[in-house]
Amino acid sequence: MKRLFCVPNIVLGLLCLMYFITYVDRVNISTAASEIQSEFGFSNTQLGLIFSAFAYPYLIFQVFGGWVGDRFGARKTLFWCGMVWALATMLTGFVNGLVTLFLVRVLVGIGEGATFPTATRAMQNWTSSARRGFAQGITHAFARLGNAITPPLIALLMAAFTWRGAFVVLGAVSLVWVLVWVLYFRNHPSEHPHITQADLDEIKPKAISAERPKVPWGPLVKRMWPVTLTYFCYGWTLWLYLNWLPLFFKTNYDMDIRKSAIFASGVFFAGVVGDTLGGVMSDYVLKRTGNRRTARIGVTVFGFCGAFLSLLPILYVRDPVIVALCLSGGFFFAELVIGPMWAVPMDIAPRYAGTAAGLMNSGSALAAIVSPLVAGYVIDVTGNWYLPFLMSMALLALGAMTAFLMHPEKPFEEEPAR
């Protein structure tokens, strides 16, 4: 029990909470979308624009934010990120139309843009190499738990406080996490007042360096581009689910908001299991085989293929329960990809883990822009809610192929200088 509540595990717990809260604050808009759309008279294309607004700065701040996290440390970086996204979430409750709603969603994207790359920087210092897959899997499992909780949570908050009040409440919760983080966390384990020697022996953190790393951008981008491309393929499916799933059930099956929220929540819960299991599987394969390439790429390809096959039946069946089960299976397998994929930047470039993670996650951030816009346009033009999922299946197949271009078994710092 004492080891369970050791400082490294508490730090990992704080990061899990951050992943949970950030995903609640980024996907709350999809559950509230029906009420917002009704109040302002938005088309699906305009709604797609609102969904994508978060992703424009999110894309920009992936690499820049990862660099900031590497250079100035996770403590300060996540504090200021949290302040921005928390206040932006609260301001969402005071918008008066398309322009102001777009702008506050952009502000949420600015605040959250650096969070995951910077969290990877924190994990690099606070997690042993044998637990990287688990740490990335469990934190992202909490993100998917946020996905799962958000639809019914927002529905309840909307019933109690209206959709505007729901955003104010969520922003206030984010502020609490920000204060706990800055008071408890330290950039290096040895700086924490309650760290023990046993903790340090287990983590084996690198010594504190006064030198701030200068990123070799060209060679690093060359090593990371296959990882970025593969993660774009995953991100397309993720953002299709996050943005459109509640409206998919509500519109396609004529459900009320509470019932559609329950269906969407059930699908997202499958992702919680997938995230955790994918990281555990990757670490297990690494421990048994000692082969980092097999541990990371093998689980990733298995996840992509399983997601493709799970989604295939929805093109032929229309029963809402069967469709929900297929979508759950697709999300479960897609989320197996998370643990091994987020471990790859730590494997390739440990010295530049935040920057490398930002390069990878820029693929998902780009998908966050394109996927909701394309889906909204396709739905408006064709009236067919299944075509976006067909497009997602094509990207899943592509991701299974591009994964083989990654080389997590070759550390970047071992490459000869150019």
CA-CA-CA-CA torsion sign (371, 235, 163, 252): positive
Phi and psi torsions of 228, nearest 5°: -60, -45
Domain range enclosing 51? 7-187+216-409
Residue 257: the pLDDT is: 66
Instruction: Give the separation between CA 146 and CA 265, rounded to whole angstroms.
Output: 10
Residue 208: the pLDDT is: 58
CATH of the domain at 268: 1.20.1250.20
The closest alpha carbon to 21, from 218, 195, 153, belongs to 153
Let me know if residue 397 belongs to a domain: yes
Instruction: Give the separation between CA 239 and CA 376, rounded to whole angstroms.
Output: 12
Let me know if residue 285 belongs to a domain: yes
pTM of the model: 0.76
Let me know if residue 108 belongs to a domain: yes
Q: Are 153 and 246 in contact (CB under 8 A)?
A: no
Token digits for 111?
């605040």
146-166 core/surface letters (b: 16 or more CB in 10 A; e: else): bbbbbbebbbebbeeeebbeb
Residue 418: the pLDDT is: 41
Q: What is the Cα 121 distance to its own chain's centre?
A: 15
How many structural domains comprise the chain?
1
Q: Are 155 and 257 in contact (CB under 8 A)?
A: yes
Instruction: Give the separation between CA 37 and CA 46, rounded to whole angstroms.
Output: 9
In order, the DSSP letters of 121-169 are HHHHHHS-GGGHHHHHHHHHHHHHHHHHHHHHHHHHHHHHHHHHHHHHH
The closest alpha carbon to 232, from 304, 124, 327, belongs to 304
Let me know if residue 245 belongs to a domain: yes
Let me know if residue 207 belongs to a domain: no
Averaged over successive runs of 10 residues, the pLDDT of the chain (418 residues) comes to 75 94 87 88 88 86 81 92 95 94 94 88 82 83 85 88 93 95 91 86 68 78 94 93 82 75 81 88 91 94 97 89 92 93 89 86 89 88 90 96 94 56
Kind and range of the H or E element at 363?
A: helix 353-382
Let me know if residue 204 belongs to a domain: no
- What angle, 0 to 180 degrees and rounded to 10, lies between the N-to-C axes of helices 299-311 and 387-402? 160
235 Cβ partners below 8 Å, 6+ apart?
363, 364, 365, 366, 367, 368, 371
Token digits for 47?
């709604």
Instruction: Give the separation between CA 195 and CA 205, rounded to whole angstroms.
Output: 12
Q: What angle do CA 244, 246, 247 make, to 5 degrees?
A: 65
Report the percentage of the chain scoring pLDDT > 70. Answer: 95
Let me know if residue 203 belongs to a domain: no
What is the per-residue pLDDT across 73-93, written as a single tens digit (0 to 9) for each? 899 999 999 999 999 999 999
Phi and psi torsions of 230, nearest 5°: -65, -40
Token digits for 129?
């190499």
How many CB atoms are closer than 10 A to CB 403? 28
Using the structure block, give the residue that is written with the tokens 């689980």: 299
Token digits for 330?
């697709």
Kind and range of the H or E element at 24?
A: helix 7-40
Let me know if residue 178 belongs to a domain: yes
21-56 core/surface letters (b: 16 or more CB in 10 A; e: else): bbbbbbbbbbbbbbbbbeeeebebebbbbbbbbbbb
Residue 416: the pLDDT is: 43
How many CB atoms are closer than 10 A to CB 380? 14
How many CB atoms are closer than 10 A to CB 381? 11
